[in-house]
């Protein structure tokens, strides 16, 4: 039995112990992703940096789900599974030979999270976020909120409480979660084009 070299790395503001070959594979994936993202037309450098930051955060979340915080080591199989799940910015697999090896996790239903939709806001994005979460027309939520406001002060306080309690969708990852989409590289790149500075 051969011993593998283990490195300590920081990824998405979290620390991981990772085998040397898994680290090399992860570095190659991030470099390939960065290269393809830079080749995408119309994506400014600052948004490329945001997408890379979101990607690293998502990878660290997936690693944390598997290894937990008990100090287990990230191995090459986990890195391969995560990178095939995330893919590339254009939605294609990293390697043409791995086209059929996408993880089954990408087909799993994604649970929506409620956020304020600041891209479609009128005041604070509360109605747009509720409409996205409930999968109804935003005009309907705005009309209902206006009726509640006119009917009495309860509507005002409901809006203010929602404004305070519901977080704003800022990052591409949060926008994917708001729409109930898998947090894949393609979706991260798509929402990075609309990201606010």
CA 23/CA 4 separation, integer angstroms: 12
Q: What share of the chain is helix, strand, coil (3-state, %, to 5)?
A: 60, 10, 35
- What confidence tens digit (pLDDT) does each residue in 42-82 have? 555 556 677 788 888 888 888 888 877 666 788 888 888 88
Q: What is the pTM of this model?
A: 0.53
Q: Rounded CA gap, 145 and 150, in Å?
A: 9
pLDDT tens, position by position, 117-136: 878 888 888 888 888 888 88
Q: Is 9 within 8 Å of 16 (Cβ atoms)?
A: yes
């Amino acid at each position: 039995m051969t011993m593998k070299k283990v490195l300590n790395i920081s990824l998405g503001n979290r620390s991981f112990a990772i085998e040397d070959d898994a680290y090399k594979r992860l570095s190659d994936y991030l470099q390939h992703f960065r290269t393809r993202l830079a080749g995408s037309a119309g994506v400014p450098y600052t948004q490329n940096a945001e997408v890379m930051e979101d990607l690293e955060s998502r990878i660290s979340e997936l690693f944390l789900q598997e290894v937990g915080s008990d100090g287990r080591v990230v191995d090459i199989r986990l890195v391969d599974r995560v990178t095939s799940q995330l893919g590339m910015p254009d939605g294609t697999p990293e390697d043409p030979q791995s086209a059929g090896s996408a993880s089954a996790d990408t087909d799993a239903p994604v649970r929506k999270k409620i956020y304020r939709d600041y891209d479609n806001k009128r005041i604070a994005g509360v109605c747009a976020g509720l409409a996205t979460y409930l999968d109804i027309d935003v005009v309907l939520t705005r009309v209902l909120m206006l009726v509640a406001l006119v009917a009495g002060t309860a509507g005002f306080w409901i809006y203010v409480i929602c404004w305070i309690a519901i977080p704003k969708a800022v990052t591409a990852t949060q926008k994917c979660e708001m729409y109930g989409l898998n947090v894949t590289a393609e979706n991260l790149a798509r929402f990075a084009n609309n990201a606010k500075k």
